[in-house]
Structure 1
């Protein structure tokens, strides 16, 4: 699938333009190990026979090819007769990261201030199932992720989100391209930029979008996870490489503190 904005699993930006012009701040969230406290790709293995994958399948993984690997995993699970209900149950059982649901509650309490968007290299089925289970789907105006749906044979079919030429990112998704494209489009629709942009993430593939944030923006990096370590390295080796304020977080409450301060200052 080419292009930055596939039509699957997103609300029309025309609606965002007419209903949400008043939002002052934009906040992006990653999903795996940010919103949920584990990788959804690992969690779904709990539905596999014996709650594990065969060695040949685990050994087929190649770095940067997560989407391809999960396509093989879901094909294997379909061949083993694993039903959609079992897959959905495994995904829905994932715990939220500490304080994340409280952070969601804070954002719900300020509907005129924050536009909330999700950018994830997981997939549409996993994300939709989990967000609906915790009652958080309506919080997100847009969700950008790999398309996924069950076919008539009971197999969860996964597709890459898009193609790109970024050397840092997995072949199927560059979050920088998504964030930049979304910001440009929403700025045109609003007629003005957001006062501040926040990005909440944890992983190595969250580095790219964090580097495009500007002065006055915030990169919330989960403490001691890959994004935090990478941003620390950038700050040490090339201080001008990251313009946003880097805020390590342990729980969603840490993010809330800074968002409250943002509201008071602006």
Structure 2
């Protein structure tokens, strides 16, 4: 039962506008497969098979209490970061859609037909709000939701990926960009012991109100016709890069890596440059759409595409980049 030690970190919320915290956008790579592992549903931990290279995690869950945030947060040493890595959350960091995990705590483990049919294309955030309101009406407690989120298994190989990035923190800056919500993401990352790896989390604000209902708000408004009405990930990426460049007085990242799976991960990848990499989950919507764009020689898409099945595929590619930099 393994995990990283939890350290203090920052969180940034946006509800309708950006402040000054906000956002430049490799070469072809080949990824190898990953070793076998299994998910222990009782302990809520991936049991990892042996791997030739040693990557020892920092602490075991049963024997390492989580650290509380101090008044003097630990920051990465003030040196130039080489690579920016952006992660989607649902079906990228975790192995399923976090909203699906919520349905399993409902009576009968399914939504009523009228609620399922109320979904409108491009209004996923709105639909999720309806689902959360229905859950509150059914008496689903905060504790049940919290526990359901913690039990979601990580995508295979992503604990190894986080371990690799932990051991190279001076070379990578990590950010989550997700259309899930802050409560789900923070809860899961903290339980997995990897929250401290991420400099920022950009997602829809979500927390419990005084009545015990999980309330979800849209992240921001935007004018992008390709994206859901509550979030444009390309806009988030652009504003984040602009802000980081302003902080450092010039270009800070040599390359940008985007790791995702869904159709809403395509828009930010269109802002990536020829030295950047779109890590696409193989045979998921993001992969199929980007391959189509690449084959059509679209002038709007310039980045390299690297498909992955396991997080260890991404580790193998990053190791090659680090060796050949």
- TM-score normalised by L of structure 2: 0.76
TM-superposition CA deviations, 1:98-156 (whole Å, max 9, x none)? 10110000000001100000000000010011111110110101000000010010100
Say which is worse superposed, 234-243 or 217-226, in terms of deviation.
234-243
Match of 1:241 in 2: 300
Give matches, 1:62-211, under 5 Å. Answer: 62-193=120-251, 194-211=253-270
Q: Secondary structure at the match of 1:162?
A: coil
Note closer, same or farther for the CA distance 1:135–1:16 as it changes in structure 2 (3 Å cut): closer
Q: Which has the higher helix share?
A: 1
Q: Distance in 2 between matches of 1:30 and 1:19?
A: 26
Contact 1:21 1:190 in 2 (8 A): no
Checking the alignment, whether the CA contact within 8 Å between 1:16 and 1:141 is kept in structure 2 is no
SS in structure 1 at match of 2:307 = strand
Q: Which among 39, 63, 68 is matched to residue 97 of structure 2?
A: 39
Q: How many angstroms apart in 2 are the aligned matches of 1:66 and 1:171? A: 9
Match of 1:10 in 2: none
On the 8 A contact 2:129/2:215 being kept in 1, the answer is yes
TM-score by length of 1: 0.93
Aligned match of 1:213 = 272
Unpaired runs of 5+ in structure 1?
A: 8-14
CA distance in 2, matches of 1:264, 1:105: 18
What is the rounded CA distance, in whole Å, between the counterparts of 1:88 and 1:20 in structure 2? Answer: 36
Matched, 1:231 2:245: no
Larger Rg: 2
Larger RCO, structures 1/2 (Cα 8 Å, 6+ apart): 2
Give the Å deviation of 1:195.
0.7
Q: Structure 1 residue 238: deviation in Å?
A: 2.7
Point out 4+ residue stretches in structure 1 off by more than 6 angstroms. 15-18
SS at match of 1:241: coil
Give 3-state SS (helix, strand or coil) of 2:314's partner. helix
Residue pair 1:147, 1:158 contacting (<8 A) in 2 also: yes
Displacement after TM superposition at 1:241 (Å): 2.7
Give the C-alpha shift of residue 90 in structure 1: 1.2
1:27 corresponds to which residue?
A: 85
Q: CA deviation at 1:16?
A: 11
How much is the aligned-residue C-alpha RMSD, in angstroms? 1.8
- 2:320 corresponds to: 261
Relative to structure 2, which stretch is displaced further, 230-239 or 125-134? 230-239
Tell whether the 8 Å contact from 2:79 to 2:170 is kept in structure 1 after alignment: no
**Structure 2: how far apart are the matches of 1:142 and 1:16?**
14
Shift of 1:4: 3.7
